[in-house]
Amino acid sequence: MNAVLEADTQVSALRTTLRDFYDDYGTCLDEFRLEDWVNFFTDDCHYRVISRENMQANLPLGLIYCMNKNMLVDRVTAIHETTMYEPRMLRHFISGVHINSIEGDVIKSQANFMITEALSDQEPTVNLVGQYQDVIVRTDKGLLLQRRDCVYDNYRIRNSMIVPV
């Protein structure tokens, strides 16, 4: 019985740590700290923003597709140096954090997201809604994303998909 209680306590503590991780991730993007955003990932990460339809049909094509941390760095550089866009304020609302499995230092988890966008001259709008489907590893640096699929539910994507999800 004590082993069960200890395991429940460990899972509960991991859920709290995982929720903090997701909150820190969202805050980093809300504050447009893109250089820090890449530090949430392992060097050999896989990051993709993909429609639910493509995910269910096992079609790999996504709006954003990065196969390692260097590609994330390139994306951040492109956003800062080459992309022209109207200034905007994004807010990430992350909920429903759930642990699907734990195998050693590898955690498979998911969480719902909603991203709102506010432009200076318009009412705020819902930009994107969906679910993070993650493989997270415990490292000496803390939790890091090895794989993140941002599976969006939107029928139509606004033409302002600039910042990572």
Domains and CATH numbers, the chain: 2-152 (3.10.450.50)
Amino acid code (one letter) for 127 = N
| Main-chain phi, psi angles of 86, to 5 degrees | -75, 135
44, burial (CB in 10 Å: exposed 0-12, middle 13-18, buried 19+): exposed
Give the pLDDT band (50/70/90) at residue 7.
low
The whole-angstrom separation of Cα 122 and Cα 9 is: 46
* pLDDT value, residue 155: 81
Q: What's the 3-state SS for 102-125?
A: EECCEEEEEEEEEEEEEECCCCCE
Please give the pLDDT value at position 49. 96
Give the number of residues written for the chain. Answer: 165
How far, in Å, CA of 52 to CA of 97, rounded? 18
Q: What pTM value is reported for the model? A: 0.91
User: Which candidate, 70, 11, 8, 40, places its Cα nearest to that of 139?
Assistant: 40
pLDDT attached to residue 139? 97
pLDDT surpassing 80 at residue 159: no
The answer, yes or no, to whether residue 89 has pLDDT greater than 80, is: yes
